[in-house]
Amino acid sequence: MSEESPANRAITSLADMKEYRGMLSWITSVDHKQIGILYIVSAFVFFLVGLGLALAMRIQLMVPVSHFMSPGAYNQIFTMHGTTMVFLMAMPLLFGFSVYFVPLMIGARDMAFPRLNALGYWLYLFGALMMYFSFVAGGAPDAGWFSYAPLTEKGYSSSPGIDYWALSLLVMGAGSVATGINLIVTVLTLRAPGMTLTRTPLFIWMIFFNAFLVILSLPALNAALVMILADRQLNAHFFSPAHGGSALLWQNYFWLFGHPEVYILVLPAFGVISEVIPVFSRKVIYGYGFLAASTIAIAFLSYGVWIHHMFATGMSYVILYVFAGSSMLIAIPTGIKIFNWIATMWGGSIRFTTAMLFATAFQIQFTVGGLSGVAFAAIPIDWQLTDSYFVVAHIHYVLLGGTLFAMFAGTYYWFPKVTGRLLSEKIGKLHFWLMVLGFNGTFFGMHWLGIAGMPRRAYTYLDRPPLGTLHLISSLFAFVLALAILVFLWNVARSLLKGEVAGDNPWGGWTLEWATTSPPPVENFDRVPSVRGRRPLWDLAHKTEGGQP
């Protein structure tokens, strides 16, 4: 845009922002962009920690009957890995992107409740630190990321790990609900003039419904957490079968939260993909309405499928059939999305930038993860494969090959907006290919490991072919994956130091965040462009009368 005020012109990197100088400005900030950056950076630090834990597991499993670590240590490590990746990495990463970009994309100056926004971040950070404090306070939690009862009862787990786990998730859960509320109210009340709900970018739709999932499913976890804390701290008996309590109640409550949670982790990724693909295909997104509406379907259905995590607990066939059916049903709206993205790419003039490469790999890998997920909805298959490495393959195809790849697409796409500097495309492509190789090499073989009978959460295994070979391959590729992350760090560092100046709109994007400078000034816009269609910047460039729908 040409009519920017000259004062802003001088700002081409975060270091030029005088409002962002000094520690104090970051600690006291209520600016949604600073809080967004804090979220993203913290999440990335915890990603590195989670990756370190994963590598430790892969070293342990590299050869049969290994003595690299004790069974007890292994239990703590896989629990902390899963918990870290889900609650300390993925959720805050998604919140970071949400609070950074939602106000920008709807043409607002900030979130609806800026101070609540800061509260959400700090609750997350201190909750996360409390989780890791458990290592020095007598032992980390060791009952898996879903902490099944009665393993979590005092009698079976005497270290304070589970108490830290529950307390810290409770603290972070409160922060998540606060942020969810904030996002909903922001979208509903702060949209720029002319931006009706049906003109908001799809990213906004996804975040909007996602926020509903957050505020309606985290309380289920919180309720279960206060119950487990009552059991452990006050000798209550909710989940203790010895006193008539029910271990299955925990499972029901946890998964009533847990299944919506997996959609919480993936809907924002869908949003990112729905922004990246049209821009780099130079085409309008195909089936905007379908993409938005199928999100509603997913959000609703995600509350009606939780039993598929409990098929092996001996429930009546009627219940099993109902939930197998609903679980297969949810594949339909998800499939619709994938077809829409493919249709958008179809016949477009595609530019395979690093962002677009990640978005493309997302579609393929997420589909693989989705297919193994639908396979689990078939009850006999679930009975055969549950608690095996097939599950480990499935979750990583969805969460790593899916969500994380999408977030890397988003990172390459928006990094220039956030920092003012482009990431190197050359290093980016190296990062991408190493990551595809490392990811698929680590996890594809795990399908086979699971079919061959390798149980998950086992600290070692006997030398029975093909287990040894498959584990060795997986472990070696895990290091390729780690290398890819190092390459990414190098790319970020290089670009912050001497990256190419990005300019306002390096990719020719159409949504409002590209209408302001990079990085955006404190209150985002000098003048919010009037919105007359779904692609305000396109309308502006072409001066169409009346705009598009």
Partner 1 sequence: MMERNKMGMILFLLSEAVFFLLLILAYAFYHTSGELGTQAANALDVVKSALFSVALLSSSITLWQADVCLKSGGRSQARLLLAATILLGLIFLIGQGTEYAHLLREHVTISRNLFGTTFFTLTGFHGLHVAVGLALLLILLGLAVIGTSREPTSLAMEAISFYWHFVDGVWVVIFAVVYLWGYV
Residues that bind Cu ion (CB under 5 A): 259
How far, CA to CA in Å, does 148 sit from each of 142, 143, 231? 10, 7, 13
Q: Does 359 bind ligand HEM (CB under 6 A)?
A: no
Minimum distance from CB of 308 to Cu ion (Å)? Answer: 5
Question: Which of partner 1, Cu ion, ligand HEM, none is residue 189 near (CB under 5 to 8 Å by kind)?
Answer: partner 1
Site stretch for ligand HEM (CB under 6 A), options 85-93, 122-130, 157-165, 323-331? 85-93
Contact 164, 137 (CB under 8 A): yes
Q: How many residues does the chain have?
A: 549
Structure-token pair, residue 354: 């690093």
In the complex, least distance from residue 124 CB atom to partner 1, rounded to whole angstroms: 17
Phi and psi at 421, nearest 5°, equal -120, 145
Q: Among Cu ion, partner 1, ligand HEM, none, what binds residue 259 when CB lies within 5 to 8 Å by partner kind?
A: Cu ion
Contact pick of 224, 481, 484, 515 for ligand HEM (by CB under 6 A):
481
Q: Which 366-425 residues touch ligand HEM, going by CB under 6 A? A: 392, 395-396, 399-400, 404
Cβ-proximal residue to Cu ion, closest one? 259
Reduce the DSSP state of residue 388 to 3 states and report it: strand
> Using CB atoms within 10 A of its CB, is residue 388 exposed (0-12), middle (13-18) or buried (19+)?
buried
**Residues near partner 1 (CB under 8 A):** 112-113, 116, 177, 180-182, 184-185, 188-189, 215-220, 222-224, 226-227, 230, 234-238, 243-246, 249, 253, 256
Distance CA 445, CA 393 (A): 8
In angstroms, give the least distance from the CB of 241 to ligand HEM.
22
Q: Which is nearer to ligand HEM, 95 or 525 (CB)?
A: 95
Closest C-alpha among 198, 174, 56 to residue 119: 174
Cα–Cα distance measured from residue 465 to residue 462, given in angstroms and rounded to the nearest whole number: 9
Instruction: Select 12 or 176, whichever has its Cβ closest to ligand HEM.
Output: 176
Q: CB-based contacts of 487: which residues, under 8 Å, 6+ apart?
A: 427, 430, 431, 434
Token pair recorded at residue 70: 């004790």
Q: Which is nearer to Cu ion, 307 or 531 (CB)?
A: 307
Write the single-letter amino acid at 287.
Answer: G
Which residues are CB-neighbours of 48 under 8 A, at least 6 positions away? 485
Tell me the per-residue interface mask from 488 to 507 with ligand HEM, x by CB under 6 A, - otherwise: --------------------
Neighbour count for residue 434 (Cβ, 10 Å): 19
Partner from partner 1, Cu ion, ligand HEM, none binding residue 181, C-beta < 5-8 Å depending on class: partner 1
Q: Which of residues 121-160 bind ligand HEM (CB under 6 A)?
A: 144-145
Q: Which residues of this chain interact with ligand HEM, rule CB under 6 A? A: 51, 54, 57-58, 78-79, 81-82, 85-86, 90, 144-145, 392, 395-396, 399-400, 404, 442, 456-457, 478, 481
